[in-house]
Amino acid sequence: MNDELQVYIDGKYYPKSQAKISVYDHGFLYGDGVFEGIREYNGVVFKLKEHVDRLFRSAHAIMLQIPITKEEMIQAVVETLRKNKMKDSYIRLVVSRGVGDLGLDPRKCPKPTIIIITDTINIRAGNAKETGITTMFSWVRRNPVDATTHEIKSLNYLNSVIAKIEANACGVDEAICLESSGCIAEGVGENVFIVKDGELLTPPTSTGALAGITAEIVEKLAAKLDIKLTVTNLTPFMMFTADEAFFTGTAMEMVPIREVNKRIIGTGKPGPVTKKLMVEFQKVIEDPAQGTKI
């Protein structure tokens, strides 16, 4: 029996070692496509419908017609998890423009490629939730909203990759990207929140940041806990002088930030507002009603 993970490609399943696409696929050649990263907790795919909705919004923005319905996409994810007998996993859902020629004209790609990978992921360092992580402002500016905006979750992630390379070279855990005017946009793959005087602040998506599903949950939890939330432009100075700060994202979940460009944030430890939100967020991801059961 083959225990290798099975990967879904265009309605068929292939062992991980044999899961391949054409070198003429425009997702590979040009980064022309969209994707979602999704988490499964204890046999429940967390916010699967919301992730699929966002996938289709991203596809619409780049005029990519996904050849199956949202309901069929959801069922394909569920079936892939069942085949791999996974109860706790990270799911990568990819739709590329598909196979074309060596020109970039999307009209040469008659059929998009759909890929579903179910595996595991760990992007946090050690006990990051307890100690917080170190960050820095990258010189790599976020693409503006009238270019390859990060409001679209596209396969073009070179902007984030270069910022991550810089963070690695500087010996910090993660990078924070600024937008063209110098305000904070987001991390390389996470939304950013700060806490000042007990209030929560986060940048708008008009900075070019992705509308995060985890960030939306945190915003709802803030309302539930009667924590004032303001969506506003954040400057590096506001981050340096914040009482608390944290990242949110599907893979990272919620992780406190303890240091930015060698400046300690607050006490250098996860603050009371962050810790309160983390406790409530954990309750949400453990609630079976928040996802799709396998």
Q: What percent of the chain shows pLDDT beyond 90? A: 96
CA nearest neighbour of 292 among 10, 80, 65: 80
The yes-or-no verdict on residue 121 having pLDDT over 70 is: yes
Which pLDDT does position 127 carry in this prediction? 87
- What is the CATH code of the structural domain delimited by 6-119? 3.30.470.10
| Sheet containing strand 6-9, strands side by side | 12-15, 6-9, 113-119, 89-96, 33-41, 44-46, 291-293
Is 246:272 a contact under the CB 8 Å cutoff? no
Q: Which pLDDT tens digit goes with each residue over 24-80? A: 999 999 999 999 999 999 999 999 999 999 999 999 999 999 999 999 999 999 999
Question: What six digits make up the tokens of 32?
Answer: 């022309």
Does the pTM surpass 0.85? The reply is yes
Query: What are the residue boundaries of the structural domains of the chain, listed by start?
Result: 6-119, 128-285
Question: How far apart are the C-alpha atoms of 24 and 8, rounded to whole Å?
Answer: 19
Give me the mean pLDDT over the 273-282 stretch.
97
> Quick one: which H or E segment has residue 276?
helix 272-285
Question: How far apart are the C-alpha atoms of 251 and 123, rounded to whole Å?
Answer: 7
Average pLDDT, the chain: 96
Residue where the block lists tokens 């969209």: 34
Is 247:192 a contact under the CB 8 Å cutoff? yes
Which pLDDT does position 133 carry in this prediction? 96
Give me the mean pLDDT over the 278-288 stretch.
96
Give me the mean pLDDT over the 240-259 stretch.
97
For the chain, the residue count is 294
Looking at the DSSP bridge assignments, the partners of residue 194 are 201, 245
CA nearest neighbour of 243 among 263, 217, 223: 263
The CATH architecture assigned to 128-285 reads Alpha-Beta Barrel (3.20)
Is 205:259 a contact under the CB 8 Å cutoff? no
Write phi, then psi, for 121 (nearest 5 degrees). Answer: -150, 145
Looking at the DSSP bridge assignments, the partners of residue 199 are 196
The yes-or-no verdict on residue 123 having pLDDT over 70 is: no
Which pLDDT does position 263 carry in this prediction? 98
Among candidate residues 85, 108, 111, 153, the one labeled active-site is 153
Residue type, 278: M
E strands present in 111-203 = 113-119, 133-137, 174-178, 184-187, 191-196, 199-202
Give me the mean pLDDT over the 221-240 stretch.
98
Q: Which pLDDT tens digit goes with each residue over 174-184? A: 999 999 999 99
From 65-79, 110-124, 131-145, 225-239, the region with the lowest mean pLDDT: 110-124
Which pLDDT does position 1 carry in this prediction? 34
Task: Answer yes or no: 153 catalytic.
Answer: yes
Between helix 48-61 and helix 70-84 the angle, nearest 10°, is: 130
Which pLDDT does position 2 carry in this prediction? 53
Is 37:117 a contact under the CB 8 Å cutoff? no
Is 124:59 a contact under the CB 8 Å cutoff? no
Which pLDDT does position 125 carry in this prediction? 60
Question: How far apart are the C-alpha atoms of 30 and 24, rounded to whole Å?
Answer: 10
* DSSP letter for each residue of 24-93: TBHHHHH--EEEEEEEEETTEEETHHHHHHHHHHHHHHTT---SS-HHHHHHHHHHHHHHHT-SSEEEEE
Question: What six digits make up the tokens of 1?
Answer: 């029996």
